[in-house]
Amino acid sequence: MSPWLPILMAVPVLGAIVVALLPKGGDKLAKQVTLAVSLLVLVLTGVMAAQFKPGGARFQFTAEYDWIPSFGVKFGVGVDGVALVLIALSAVLVPIVVLASWYDADGVKTADGTIVTPKRSVKTYFSLLLVLEAMMIGVFAATDVFLFYVFFEAMLIPMYFMIGSYGGAQRSYAAVKFLLYSLFGGLLMLVAVIGLYVAASKGTFMFEPLIGAVKDPTTQKWLFGGFFIAFAIKAPLWPVHTWLPDAAAQAPAGAAVLLVGVLDKVGTFGMLRFCLELFPDAAKSFTMPIVVLSVISIIYGAIVAIGQTDMKRLIAYTSISHFGFIVLGVFAMSNIAQTGAALYMVNHGFATGALFLAAGFLIARRGSPFIADYGGVQKVAPLLAGFFLVAGLAGLSLPGLSSFVSEFMVMIGTYSSSAHGSGAFTVAAGISAVAVILAAVYILWMVQRTLNGPTAEPVKAFKDLNAREVWVLAPLIALIIGFGFFPKPLIDVIQPSVVHTLTNVNVSTAIAERGTGQ
* CB distance 468 to 361 below 8 Å: no
Closest CA to 248 of 352, 379, 398: 352
481 assigned to some structural domain: yes
265 assigned to some structural domain: no
Quick one: pLDDT at residue 298?
Answer: 92
270 assigned to some structural domain: no
Domain hosting 443: range is 286-518
4 assigned to some structural domain: no
Q: What is the pLDDT along the chain (518 residues), one digit of tens a residue?
A: 889 999 999 999 999 999 999 888 778 899 999 999 999 999 999 999 999 999 888 899 999 998 888 888 899 999 999 999 999 999 999 999 999 988 877 765 554 455 556 667 888 899 999 999 999 999 999 999 999 999 999 999 999 999 988 877 788 888 899 899 989 998 999 999 999 988 888 888 898 899 888 888 899 999 999 999 999 998 889 898 888 898 988 888 888 999 988 888 999 999 999 999 999 889 888 988 998 999 999 999 999 999 888 899 999 999 999 999 999 989 888 888 899 999 999 999 999 999 999 999 998 888 888 888 888 888 888 999 999 999 999 988 888 898 889 988 888 888 877 544 557 777 887 888 888 888 888 889 998 888 888 888 888 888 888 999 999 999 999 999 999 999 999 999 999 998 888 888 875 433 344 444 33
388 assigned to some structural domain: yes
Quick one: pLDDT at residue 508?
Answer: 40
201 assigned to some structural domain: no
* CB distance 351 to 392 below 8 Å: no
Q: Give the end-to-end CA distance of the chain in Å, rounded to a whole number.
A: 36
Quick one: pLDDT at residue 146?
Answer: 94
370 assigned to some structural domain: yes
Q: What is the DSSP string of 25-70?
A: T-HHHHHHHHHHHHHHHHHHHHHHHHT--TTS-SSEEEEEEEEEGG
269 assigned to some structural domain: no
Three-class SS of residue 498? Answer: helix
Three-class SS of residue 146? Answer: helix
Domain count, the chain: 1
Report pLDDT digits (tens) over 238-260. 898 888 898 988 888 888 999 98
